[in-house]
Structure 1
Amino acid sequence: MNALAAVMHLLVAAAFVSIPLVRHRFGPAAKAAAVTELRRQGVRPEVLEENKLRFDAGGHETAAPVTVAAVMITTAALNLAGADLAQLLTWIFSSAVLLMNAVIVYSNLTAVQSVEAAFRRKGDPELARVEVAPFLRSAEDAFPGWVRAQTYVRNAVVFAGSAVALVAVSV
């Protein structure tokens, strides 16, 4: 059962690494589309840089998922090695990943409201003028259609993989 848990951890790690890979590959196109939308709305595109708003895989958009992947790979290795600590770490990290992914899904579902609130908090009058829904939609539409399917698959892998790993180390 430790081998099954390890395989699930590796699948979860791969799912998390896919996030910055997709953003790295298609982030520039998303930014270009967002800039076009800002111009259509009469908002200076420089407001993105001035407020450190990004669409690529820089900063925490890479650090967070890569860290999760590294933790899951380490936990997989411990499971494969039959380490006594593997079961406890599986419980801790698989549970944490389940919760984190639930937060990610929620933030994706409430992105418009979250971004509107974030723009208001910035206090930049230029950002306050942005119509967020079409702004985000333009960026999202710059990603290929398969990315939406990949997001659903990634979420399914993370939720199911974490749950299966928890069950595997429990029996």
Structure 2
Amino acid sequence: MNTLAAVMQLLVAAAFVSIPVVRHRYGPAARAAAVAELRRQNVRPEVLEENQLRFDAGGHETAAPATVAAVMIAIAALNFAGADLAQILTWIFSSLVVLMNVAIVYSNLTAVKSVQAAFRRKGDSELSRVEVAPFLRAAEDAFPRWVRAQTYLRNTVVFAGSAIALVAVSVA
């Protein structure tokens, strides 16, 4: 059963690594589409840099998923080795991964409202004029259609893989 948990943890790691890989490959196109939308709205595109808005895999967009993947790989190695510590670490970190993914899904579902609120909080009059829904839609539409399916698959792998890992170490 530890082997099953380890395999699931490796799948979860791969799912998290897919986030910056996709953003690295298609983020520049998303940024270009967002810039075009800002121009359509008569908003200076420089407002993106001035407010550190990114669509690529820089900064925390890579660091956070890479860290999750590294932790899952380390715990998978412990599960493969049959280490006693693997069970408690699986319980802790697989549970945290589920909670983090819930937050990611919620953030994606409420993106328009949260970005509008963030733009208002910045106090930048130009940024507060941005029509957020078309701005985000333009960026999202720059990603290939398969990315949406990949997102659903990634979420399924993270939720199901974490749940299976938890059950596997519980019955081991």
* Displacement of 1:139: 0.1
- SS of residue paired to 1:43: coil
TM-score, with length taken from structure 2:
0.99
Deviation at 1:77, TM superposition (A): 0.1
**TM-score, scaled relative to structure 1:** 1.00
Residue 97 (structure 2) aligns with: 97
Match of 2:46 in 1: 46
Distance 2:117 2:62 in 1: 23
Tell me by how many angstroms 1:151 deviates: 0.1
Which position in structure 1 is the counterpart of 2:121? 121
Cα distance, 1:134 vs structure 2: 0.1
Deviation of 1:97 after TM superposition, in Å, equals 0.3
1: CA distance between counterparts of 2:142 and 2:73?
A: 32
Q: Kindly provide the amino acid, as one letter, of the partner of residue 29 in structure 2.
A: A
Q: Structure 2, unaligned stretches of length 5 or more? A: none
> How many pairs were matched up?
171
Corresponding position of 1:69: 69
Deviation (angstroms), 1:12: 0.1
Shift of 1:120: 0.7
Structure 1: gaps spanning 5 or more residues: none
Describe the SS at the equivalent of 1:83.
Answer: coil
Q: Distance in 1 between matches of 2:98 and 2:54?
A: 26
Deviation at 1:26, TM superposition (A): 0.2
Please name the residue that 1:5 is paired with: 5
For 1:162, the equivalent position in structure 2 comes to 162
Q: What SS does structure 1 have at the residue aligned with 2:56?
A: coil
Aligned to 1:15: 15
CA shift digits 1:125-168 (9 cap, x unpaired): 11000000000000000000000000000000000000000000
User: Any idea what SS the aligned residue of 1:69 has?
Assistant: helix
Counterpart of 1:148 in structure 2 is: 148
Q: Counterparts in 2 of 1:55-66, with a 5 A limit?
A: 55-66=55-66
CA drift of 1:17 comes to 0.2
Please state how far the C-alpha of 1:15 moved relative to its aligned partner: 0.1
Q: Which residue number corresponds to residue 36 of structure 1?
A: 36
Q: Which amino acid aligns with 1:166?
A: L
Deviating above 6 A after TM superposition, structure 1's stretches of 4 or more consecutive aligned residues are none
